[in-house]
């Protein structure tokens, strides 16, 4: 998740328009909210164009200024509150001429467009024609030269809102993960029926030209077979599919069968593959009781998930920043994301690459179509093919390259642990390695002496891990115990069970455990094996990564909790809730959750809490409620990390606010506790668990055949995998430049440099807590703020 440095106010007051076009996608409201509030903070004016380009062409009341309070509560709302419509008139020059006139009359000189590739292409065409449109308006007498003179340049910035995630150059588009969540919830719901009756289900999901939703839902639900437009199955796929499903059911004992079909699925001759056809094949050839489910537009509905909320917020903020920094020579940018970094990409480059994919599919050049998708898509496709079922004889390694790989979970439970362990087992079996599960962490390993083998260390079969695909927590068990509690016995166990490699999934304790094992190599040869840590903790406090498995699941649980709390606070109109979050001594969860729910303030241990801070925030709340006069749905939320202060507890802060409110508003404390660990893992944690785990296993198997001395001498033999900026990297734990010495705050159990800290600035700016004078400019002429109707 990238941070942003905010520009100072421009020399003149700018007017920035924002519109949503094409289809709707969860998260679009968050983008509009961010654009509006960031524009006001930057001493600009924000205008909403209702009903997309239709509103731009028609003008009048369909282009309206939005103030700070107008977008309150928009983060949790689905769809797009300013409307979206496909506009045929804007595709013609006369329509764009009218749109240009309406923008000049409103004084709008920049436009942020949130939509798909068609909407963004139209925006760039509009910008390229802008000088000619103004010239024609003057020539025909529609406008005067004095009117158009200040607006000779039109700046366009694109945001991609699409549930299909079909834009090249970005890992995710606004709305795609919310849609994926709807799909996974639906498939999870049919699991019990499929298992009980040993049925098959064919699930059709959206995606006419892009198979992202289908691929990610197949990974997230452990589907037996997948159909996507970019990579059709080979001829004879009917036999292949039936063969795999039969083997899974009869030889491996699976009771349920799931097949995912993208709506644009086709064979290699471009013949459409329908969900009904797949269902008939399973029924007729296998005699399988099969049902078809077409999810349709349910995939578009509902509130945005945590990822789409912070993505739309940060991209909206970056869009305003891009507007303020653009020059007449700058190409129109589209705001994208690569791994965890918000970036700008030339808009038309992204659109061209997107359209080339479709063109190659139509020309049956499927290999090229796959190469033009982003690298993350290709990696996920490879990961799915090689773990959906361990039936790939050609991928088996020779005997001398096969390893006994131990899999262990260490630390508190986190969403994604089961999925990472499942992926590791499947990959091991695919390659011919032996996966060995260590139950209940290091205490489970050392509970008995090494010469007394126990069931806590055993080989794992594929079929038992298949059920882990949507389960939370850790099926093999996890705890905070470390090898240092009995390092001698730990070494004896490693030797007894002949571990050739160690795959550790967990949080800061997992990081500490591998550090201890690495440092003990001088004394114990048994530890001279490759070891890798896959971070999994809701606190997201492991050095070497900006993302840990479980953190997204935690955030989704938190925003669900906060949405319910906000509803209560908004219903009573004049209530503040102080919500306590977990996270240890890292404020990541509190800050990111605060960004995702529109918190008024976030208190974290990195900054601490003092009486002056509380006094300022109470004054801010008092002023806010006084100006609002109860007219708006103005319930408010404050997030507090559990260790932010030992004195100013959650209840104490709530009591202080209540006392100082003097009856004008009230406050409550709420502690979600272990609810934050979540139930079923989020789709993001599921799919990233697969991708990261396979990368880890590939890293471990690269040491096959090496001597213990060679392994011990290699700093990369003890590593942490992680997301850093726009890349996924392995970082050495030891050595002069290793994580242990340079990047770890051991006392506070967190990285020395926390990438997300500047997000506090974003939270403060978008809540108005930063003290910007422009924030309250909307109150100067009217002390009773009425939010506009979503439709003109």
- Residue 70 marked in a binding site: no
Annotated binding residue 663: no
Binding residue per annotation — 583?
Answer: yes
Phi and psi at residue 435, to the nearest 5°: -85, 130
Does 667 show up as a binding residue in the annotation?
no
Does the annotation list 594 as a binding residue?
Answer: no
Q: Is 291 annotated as a binding residue?
A: yes
To the question of whether residue 164 is assigned a binding role by annotation, the answer is: yes
Cβ–Cβ under 8 Å, residues 274 and 261: yes
Do the annotations mark residue 299 as ligand-binding? Answer: yes
Q: How many residues does the chain have?
A: 792
d(CA 489, CA 166): 52
- Chain-centroid distance of CA 594 in Å reads 16
Q: What angle do CA 544, 546, 551 make, to 5 degrees?
A: 120
Q: Residue 231 — φ and ψ, nearest 5°?
A: -135, 80
3-state secondary structure 473-507: CCCCCEECCCHHHHHHHHHHHHHHCCCCEEEEEEC
What stretch of H or E contains 159? strand 155-160
- How many beta carbons lie within 10 A of that of residue 375, not counting itself? 12
Q: Is 749 annotated as a binding residue?
A: yes
Burial of 149 (0-12, 13-18, 19+ CB in 10 A): exposed
Q: Is 642 annotated as a binding residue?
A: yes
One-character DSSP codes across 425-444? HHHHHHHT-EEEEETTHHHH
Assign 3-class secondary structure to 734-763.
Answer: CCCCCHHHHCEECCCCEECCCCCCCHHHHH
Question: What gap in Å lies between CA 158 and CA 331, rounded to an integer?
Answer: 11
Q: Would the annotation count 519 as a binding residue?
A: no
Pull the structure tokens for residue 253: 């004992």
668 is in an annotated binding site: yes
Q: Is 207 annotated as a binding residue?
A: yes
Q: Under a CB-based contact definition with an 8 Å cutoff, are residues 227 and 392 in contact?
A: no
User: Residue 359 annotated as binding?
Assistant: no
Helix (H, G, I), strand (E, B) or coil at 254: coil
Asked if residue 298 belongs to a known ligand binding site, the reply is yes
Catalytic, 714? Answer no
**Residue 786 assigned ligand-binding role:** no
Q: What are phi and psi of 17, to 5 degrees?
A: -95, 150
In 328-413, alpha helices (H): 347-362, 366-372, 375-385
Give the 3-state secondary structure of residue 168: coil
Nearest-angstrom CA–CA distance, 179 and 78: 11
User: In this structure, are residues 742 and 733 in contact, taking their beta carbons and an 8 Å threshold?
Assistant: no
Q: At what angle do helices 237-246 and 275-286 cross, to 10 degrees?
A: 60
37 marked ligand binding residue: no
Residue 117 is assigned to a ligand binding site: yes
SS (H, E, C) 195-227: HHHCCEEEEEECCCCCCHHHHHHHHHHCCCEEE
d(CA 584, CA 606): 11
What contacts 139, CB < 8 A, 6 or more positions away? none
Give SS3 for 325. Answer: helix
Give the C-alpha separation, 102 to 48, whole Å: 13
Of 70, 109, 124, 164, the catalytic one is 164
Would you say 419 is a known binding-site residue? no
Q: Is residue 539 marked as binding?
A: yes
CA distances from 469 to 58, 188, 415, 680, 689 (A): 50, 10, 11, 9, 10
Is 538 assigned to a binding site? Answer: yes
582 is in an annotated binding site: yes
118 appears as a binding residue in the annotation: yes
Q: Number of helices (H) and strands (E) in the chain: give both, helices first.
A: 26, 25
208 is in an annotated binding site: yes
Annotated ligand binding at 256? The verdict is no
Q: Does 242 count as an annotated binding residue?
A: no
The response to whether 740 counts as a known ligand-binding position is no
The long-range contacts involving 356-360, CB below 8 angstroms and separated by at least 24 positions, are 356/168, 357/166, 357/168, 357/209, 357/210, 357/230, 358/209
537 is in an annotated binding site: yes
Is 93 within any annotated ligand binding site? no
Residue carrying structure tokens 């020395």 = 752
677 is in an annotated binding site: yes
Residue 277 assigned as binding residue: no
Q: Residues forming the annotated binding site for beta-D-fructose 2,6-bisphosphate?
A: 480, 537-541, 575, 582-584, 642, 668, 674-677, 749
- Residues belonging to the binding site for ATP are 23, 86-87, 116-119
Catalytic residues: 164
Q: Which residues are annotated as a binding site for Mg(2+)?
A: 117
Residue list, annotated binding site for substrate: 162-164, 199, 206-208, 263, 291, 297-300
Known binding-site residues equal 23, 86-87, 116-119, 162-164, 199, 206-208, 263, 291, 297-300, 480, 537-541, 575, 582-584, 642, 668, 674-677, 749
């Amino acid at each position: 998740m990238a941070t942003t440095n905010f520009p100072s106010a421009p020399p003149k007051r700018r007017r920035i328009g924002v519109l949503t076009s094409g289809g709707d996608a969860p998260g679009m409201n968050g983008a509009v909210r961010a654009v509006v509030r960031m524009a006001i903070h930057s001493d600009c004016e924000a205008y909403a164009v209702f009903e997309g380009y239709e509103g731009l062409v028609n003008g009048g009341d369909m282009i309206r200024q939005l103030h700070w309070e107008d977008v309150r509560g928009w983060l949790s709302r689905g769809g797009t509150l300013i409307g979206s419509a496909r506009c045929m008139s804007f595709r013609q020059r006369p329509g764009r001429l009218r749109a240009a006139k309406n923008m000049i009359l409103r004084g709008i000189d920049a436009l942020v467009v949130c939509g798909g590739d068609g909407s963004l292409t139209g925006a760039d065409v509009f910008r390229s024609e802008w000088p000619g449109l103004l010239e024609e308006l003057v020539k025909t007498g529609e406008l005067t030269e004095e009117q158009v003179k200040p607006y000779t340049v039109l700046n366009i910035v694109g945001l991609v809102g699409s549930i299909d995630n079909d834009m090249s150059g970005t890992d995710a588009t606004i709305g795609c993960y919310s849609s994926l969540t709807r799909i996974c919830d639906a498939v999870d719901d049919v699991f019990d029926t499929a298992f009980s009756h040993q049925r098959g289900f064919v699930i059709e999901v959206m995606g006419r030209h892009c198979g992202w939703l289908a691929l990610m839902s197949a990974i997230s639900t452990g589907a037996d077979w997948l159909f996507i437009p970019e990579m059709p199955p080979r001829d004879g796929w009917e036999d292949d599919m039936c063969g795999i499903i039969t083997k899974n059911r009869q030889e491996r004992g699976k009771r349920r069968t799931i097949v995912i079909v993208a709506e644009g699925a086709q064979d290699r001759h471009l013949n459409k593959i329908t969900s009904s056809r797949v269902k008939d094949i399973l029924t007729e050839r296998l005699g399988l009781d099969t049902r078809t489910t077409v999810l349709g537009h349910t995939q578009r509905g509902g509130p945005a998930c945590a990822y789409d909320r912070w993505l739309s917020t940060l991209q909206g903020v970056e869009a305003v920043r891009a507007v303020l920094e653009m020059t007449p020579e700058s190409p129109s940018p589209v705001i994208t994301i690569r791994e965890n970094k918000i970036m700008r990409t030339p808009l038309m480059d992204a659109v061209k690459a997107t359209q080339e994919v479709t063109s190659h599919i139509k020309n049956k050049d499927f290999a090229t179509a796959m190469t033009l998708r982003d690298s993350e898509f290709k990696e996920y496709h490879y990961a799915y093919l090689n773990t959906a079922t361990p039936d790939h004889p050609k991928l088996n390694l020779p005997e001398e390259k096969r390893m006994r790989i131990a899999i262990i979970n260490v630390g508190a439970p986190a969403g994604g642990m089961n999925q990472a362990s499942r992926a590791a087992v499947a990959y091991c079996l695919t390659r011919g390695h032996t996966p060995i599960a260590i139950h209940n962490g290091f205490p489970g390993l050392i509970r008995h002496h090494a010469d007394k083998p126990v069931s806590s260390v055993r080989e794992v079969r594929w079929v038992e891990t298949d059920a882990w695909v949507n389960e939370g927590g850790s099926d093999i068990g996890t705890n905070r115990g470390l090898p240092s509690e009995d390092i001698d016995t730990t070494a004896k166990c490693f030797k007894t069970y002949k571990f050739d490699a160690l795959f550790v999934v967990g949080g800061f304790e997992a990081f500490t455990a591998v550090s201890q094992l690495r440092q003990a190599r001088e004394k114990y040869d048994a530890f001279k094996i490759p070891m890798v840590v896959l971070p999994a903790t809701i606190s997201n406090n492991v050095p070497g990564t900006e993302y840990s498995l479980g953190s997204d699941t935690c955030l989704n649980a938190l925003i669900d909790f906060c949405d319910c709390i906000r509803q209560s606070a908004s219903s009573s109109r004049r209530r503040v809730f102080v919500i306590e979050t977990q996270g240890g001594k890292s404020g990541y969860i509190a800050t990111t959750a605060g960004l995702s729910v529109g918190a008024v303030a976030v208190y974290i241990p990195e900054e601490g809490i003092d009486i002056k801070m509380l006094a300022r925030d109470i004054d801010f709340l008092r002023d806010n409620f006084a100006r609002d006069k109860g007219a708006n749905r103005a319930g408010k939320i404050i997030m507090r990390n559990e260790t932010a202060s030992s004195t100013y507890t959650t209840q104490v802060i709530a009591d202080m606010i209540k006392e100082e409110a003097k009856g004008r508003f009230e406050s409550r404390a709420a502690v979600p506790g272990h609810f934050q660990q979540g139930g079923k893992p989020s789709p993001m944690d599921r799919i990233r668990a697969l991708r990261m785990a396979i990368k880890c296993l590939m890293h471990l198997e690269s040491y096959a055949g090496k001597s213990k001395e060679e392994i011990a001498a290699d700093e990369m033999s003890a590593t942490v995998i992680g997301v850093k900026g726009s890349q996924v990297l392995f970082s050495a734990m030891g050595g002069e430049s290793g994580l242990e010495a340079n990047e770890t705050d051991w006392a506070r159990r967190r990285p020395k440099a926390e990438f997300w800290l500047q997000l506090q600035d974003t939270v403060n700016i978008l809540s108005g807590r930063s003290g910007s004078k422009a924030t309250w400019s909307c109150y100067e002429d009217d002390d009773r703020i009425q939010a506009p109707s979503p439709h003109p």
